[in-house]
Structure 1
Amino acid sequence: MASSSTNLIVRAVASVADLDRAAWDALDHGPSPFLRHGFLRALEESGSIDPATAKKRRSGWSSLYLLAEQAGRLVGAVPVFLKEHSYGEYIFDWGWANAAQRAGLRYYPKLVIAAPQTPATGNRILLAPDANADDVRAVLIAAVRAVADDTECSSIHWLFCTRDEQAALAKAGFFPRATMQFHWHNRGYQTFDDFLGQLKSRKRKQLRKERERARTAIDRLSWIHGGELDAAQLDDLDRFYRNTTDQHGGRDYLRPGFFHALARYLPDAMRMVEVVRGEQRVAGALFLETDRGLYGRYWGADVHVDLLHFETAYYAGIERAIERKLPLFEAGAQGEHKLLRGFDPMPTYSAHWIRHAGLSAAIRDHTEREAAAIAGEMAEMAKLGPYRTAADGTPSSDDD
C-alpha cells in the first residue's frame, strides 16, 4: 500500500524474526516494553504467538506486522493479530461474540491490535520520533482496515491503546470503549515509609502488619536482573506461573520456553523477584522495568504463605518503584483489593470497528452504558481510597 501525497509505503511482515530489531525498537513505545522486539520474539519462539505464515498455528494469535516506510526508513508500525478466539485479551468481548452467534453472524476471525497475553496500556501505533504523526497514523489505520477486508474479518479491536490513540481512532470511524484497572503512582516518595505516611492510619497499620507477616515467614526476597538469571531460576519461574494458572482454572497463555526466551531477548527489562525459605526457592514473580514504569506480570508459589502474594506482587513492586524513582507501577488486570493497598482506579482505553451495521449499533449502545457505569464506579472508589489526601490534593474521608 502506498500514499503518493506523503511518499509513505506500507508493507507487511509475518514474523518478528524478519523485523529489523534496532529500527523497530527505535520507534516510540512509550513506557511499556510489551511490544519491544525482544518481548515479541520470546512470544513467537515459545509458540505463544504464531507468524501468519505458520503452517501449524498453536496459539490462536497469528501475527502480521504492518511497517510504514518513507524513503526506505521505518517511520511507523502496527502489530496486528488475526484471532479465532478472545482468550488472552483482558478487554472482554465474549458477550459480543455470543450476541453475534445468536443473530446468526460470524464473529471470528477478527483483528486485534494489542500486546499479546498482556493487559498493559501502551502505544499501539508505533511512530518514529521525527515522523509526521498524523500522516503515518492515517496510512497505518487504513492499512489495518485493508487487512480486515482481505482476511474477511468481522471486526477490528485496538486494546489497551493510549487515550490519544483512542481519540485519533474515533476520527477514523472506531468507537471507544472504557474499562478500568488499578495503577500505583509515585507521588515523589523517597522511601516506602514516605508512601505509608500518606495513608490513613488504619490502612497504614494494616499494610505494615501484612508485610511483617509475609517477611517473617521467608528468609529472603531478592530482585534479579534478567541477564543474571540461570536456567534453574527460569525453570522455577515457569513452574510458579503454571501453578497459578492451574490453581485458578486459568489458561497458560505463555507456552513452555517463554521465560527462557525472554531472558535471552529482553534481559535489560526482565526482572525476577525470588523468594527463598530455608534453602529452597518457594515463590517468585516476573516484572518488566523500563526507565518510565514497572510492570508486574506473573506470580506463583510452590507453598502457601499467608500474604506472600501481596508482598511479592504489590509491596515489593511499590518499594522498587520508589527506589528506582519510577512514576508508574502497573500490577496487572483486575483486583479491587489493590485499591486499599495504594493503587488508584484508572481508565483504560480501547477502540473498535464492527463490520455488521446492526451488531455495531447494538454494541455501541452497550459500551456507552458501560462507560457511564464505570465512571460512576470509579467515582465511588475514589471516595474509599486509602490515602489521607487524594492525588489532586483534595482531603479524603476521615483518617480512620
Structure 2
Amino acid sequence: MSASISIKNITKRYDDVTVLDNINLHIEDGEFVVFLGPSGCGKSTLLRMIAGLESITEGSIDIGDKRIDTLPPGQRGVAMVFQSYALYPHMTTRQNMAFGLENVNVAQDEIDRRVNDAATILEIDHLLDRKPGRLSGGQRQRVAIGRAIVKEPKAFLFDEPLSNLDAALRGRTRLELAQLHQRLGSTMIFVTHDQVEAMTLADRIVIMHEQKIEQIGTPMEIYQHPVSRFVAEFVGSPPMSMLPINHIERTPEGVTVEVSGAGKVATAIALPENFKTTGAVIGIRAEDTSVVSAEDDGLDLTIKVVERLGDRTLLYGCLIDGTDLIVEDSGRSSVKAGHIVRVALSSHAAHIFDGDGLAHHSQQEV
C-alpha cells in the first residue's frame, strides 16, 4: 500500500492566533522530506497534526488513498521519534522497543523478530539488555528510532531528533539516518531548524516561514535558486551577503546594478519591466567571490574578522560605505583582520531581490 502523504488546505488556529495558514503539500511514497524553518514557523505543529497529536482547524490529511486526520494516533500507521528520547529508565533496550507492541497484543515471537531485526539494522543488538542509564546519548537515540521501526509504520516522523547530541555525534547520526532510509525505503518526514541537516538528508526540503510554505525543492534547487530573500539568507553557511542597489541599467546580457561602496556590478539577470527597485538588493554567496590582486577590477573590502576553516577561509569585511560582505579565500590565506583586499564577484552567480523580497536569477548555469 502506498505511503504517500497528502496535506490539503491545512489551517491551524489557537483562538485568534493562526499557526498554519492553508498548507498544501504532497509527499511521495518512500520520500525523505525535511520541514525546515525558524522557531515559531509551524513546522513541528504540522508534524504533530500528521501524527494526530494536534487537532486540525481546517483541511485534511491522507496517507495513500485513506484519510487519516479523523483517526486516533494509534490507527494512522505512523511512528514518531521525539527530540527527547522518552525511554523508560527502568526497562532494558529490548523492553523499551517491545513495549508498544505488547500493548496492542502482538504475538511474542513476532515481537522478538521485530526487535531483533530493528536492533540489527541499528547495530544495537549488543545493547538489548542494557537500561538507558548505561547508554550514551547516541545509543539512546538509536533505541528511540528502533522503537519506531518495530511498529513497521507507513511513515516515520522525526521531530528534531538530533538536537540533544553533540556536534560530532550529530554528524554520525545524520549519516546513519540517511543509510536507514536507504535500507527501509520508507516515507520519512524530518523537522529541523538546522539547514545542514536539511541539506544532507532531504530528497526535498519544505521551507516554512510565517505560518506558510515559502519554497519546496531539492536541496540544490533551494540553495541555487531561492525564491525569496528569506530563503537565500536562511539556507547556506555563511549566509548570502546582501548589497543595497541604487540604480539599475539594462543591458543585452542582463542588468548592471550600481551598489553603494561597490560601484557597478554586471549580472546576467533579466528583470521584468515592473521590477520594484525601492529596497532592492543584490545577493552574493561567499563561494562566488574571490580575492584578486590590487591591479585587478573589483571592490575594496576592509576585513573585520577572519574565520579559518581548514579547507577554506571566510573573510568578513565591509565596503567603503559600511555594507557588510562575506568573501571566501583559500585555506592557506594570509589575510588578517585590518587588511584591505580587492574582491571580484561572479556576475553569473548573483541574485537580485526586489523590494518585496522576491528573487530573480540568471538563466545561465553558474
Hey, which of these two has a bigger chunk of strand by percent?
Answer: 2
Q: TM-score, normalised by structure 2?
A: 0.27
Q: Which has the larger radius of gyration?
A: 2
- By relative contact order (CA 8 Å, sep 6+), the higher-ranking structure is 1
